[in-house]
A and B are shown apart, each in its own frame.
Chain A
């Protein structure tokens, strides 16, 4: 259950931050709606660094921040800042790509009917790229589920904790196997739900 909690709480936060940062990346890109080389450069560097730090190292690096935000560095909630920081850059890039793909032709349509940049993003680009955004959050959620196992192994609890501390460390392979099956089950579930939503959203299938 701790794994569920960590995965879904962090996915929800990653979705919000990823959308905001992804939209800002799209807006400020050289062929975006409001090109701003400085903003794009800064965001791009942060996102790239965020994506390249291995998750285990990220957790350690974020210990002081976690202590300030959550008040502790143990337990599932303490894992969430690291999960969000690790997942957001990943999703932000997906958002940027999805908006960019739809924006190529549709942004001029929005400008031509007198919409503001904000309206173009909220009324045209996000609704139009919704299937891609959902597919992206599915992939992100799966990545986050695997991150929780790493977090679990160093004190966050959940299936990672079960597999490592109770299974591997105590030489009880059945426990490890059960934990693995449960993680796989979670991933399959996320994928199924994601696919189902995409299918509902895709206009071509009705």
Chain B
């Protein structure tokens, strides 16, 4: 879908050379929400801008959809590729002199392809992002969250296969952030979109992403599924990020140094509604203390427990027999 191989991007400005993206290789799987996280200056915004060539890389190869080595595309192919990629921005980037409807239609209208069919499509999109009744309002009358909804509708008018989100919620409050993320999740699954989302906020990643790439100083330092990043982070940058939202299991284990047999369990989605723990506790007369538990967006359960029993191995075996995965037990 989207692949980067050994991509470099350097900015040269007055006596200052910034290596924004360094030797990045990366794959974004189709039909997923792929998060890119890092502190400011980590190169994440540059990385997402390379996908539709708002920035042009200096070295390496990027393939998007059926287009290979997009840096070498001619103008017409680039225009076609860009029509398959929608993008939303931190500051919404709406046209203040146009109404909501005109903004949503703009990507079509600017190419001189206005038609009744497209106007109807714009009305439907405005409906589906929850802005019915605001078609003829100008953006300055809308709240931040509503502006981003217009941005989303505009990004979808060409029926793109890819949606790029550059810090889509960084200018919004917590409640609105949640609403916008829900909307992104909803349209992703309805339209089988591939979403690439850049953020500095681990909460956002935790809410919507299936896969996560962690960037630091232009490098990809860690890359994996959301579960891997949340619960088996290896790189210190990732650990800082997960700790910030209370997900650093190692840290929690360290804070409970006196407890025996600390074990990280994973409950695959088909067993999360079973009463496994209480069954095992009753059968083996063990004490199992839960130190941390959470359910990820993909409906997997993750739990850090301390097993207080004379036969801890038997407890683990019993858990495994019930479909629980022992992720780690050497704390």
Question: Which A residues are closer than 8 A to B by beta carbons?
Answer: 30, 105-106, 108-115, 119, 123-124, 127-128, 130, 201, 203-204, 206
Contacts of A201 in B (CB 8 A): 97
Contacts of A112 in B (CB 8 A): 52, 54, 82, 85, 87, 164
Q: Are A106 and B138 in contact (CB under 8 A)?
A: no
Contacts of B85 in A (CB 8 A): 112
Report Cα–Cα, A76/B309, bound state, in Å: 104
A198 to chain B, nearest CB (A): 12
> Given A119-B110, A203-B138, A204-B140: A113 and B82 within 8 A (CB)?
yes
Summed over the interface, the residue pairs from A and B with CB atoms below 8 Å come to a total of 60
Q: A113-B106, A114-B80, A127-B97 are in contact. List 4 more A-B contacts (CB 8 A).
A: A109-B93, A113-B158, A124-B95, A203-B140
Contacts of A111 in B (CB 8 A): 52, 54, 82
A114 to chain B, nearest CB (A): 4
Contacts of B164 in A (CB 8 A): 112
Q: Which of A109, A110, A115, A130: most chain B CB closer than 10 A?
A: A109
> Given A112-B82, A113-B106, A119-B110: A203 and B96 within 8 A (CB)?
yes
> Given A105-B89, A203-B140: A128 and B83 within 8 A (CB)?
no
Q: Which of A30, A110, A201: most chain B CB closer than 10 A?
A: A110
| Band of interface residues on B | 20 to 34
Question: Which B residues are closer than 8 A to A by beta carbons?
Answer: 13, 49, 52, 54, 78-80, 82-83, 85, 87, 89, 91, 93, 95-98, 106-107, 110-111, 138-141, 158, 164
B37 to chain A, nearest CB (A): 21
Q: Would you mind naming 11 contact pairs between A and B with Cβ atoms under 8 Å apart?
A: A108-B93, A109-B87, A113-B107, A113-B110, A113-B158, A114-B78, A114-B83, A114-B107, A119-B110, A127-B95, A130-B97
Q: Are A109 and B89 in contact (CB under 8 A)?
A: yes
Q: Identify which of B54, B87, B110 contacts A115 (C-beta below 8 A).
A: B110
Q: Are B110 and A123 in contact (CB under 8 A)?
A: yes
Chain A's closest residue to B92 (CB) is: A105
List the 7 closest A-B pairs by CB distance, nearest first. A203-B138, A114-B79, A113-B107, A114-B82, A109-B93, A112-B87, A204-B140
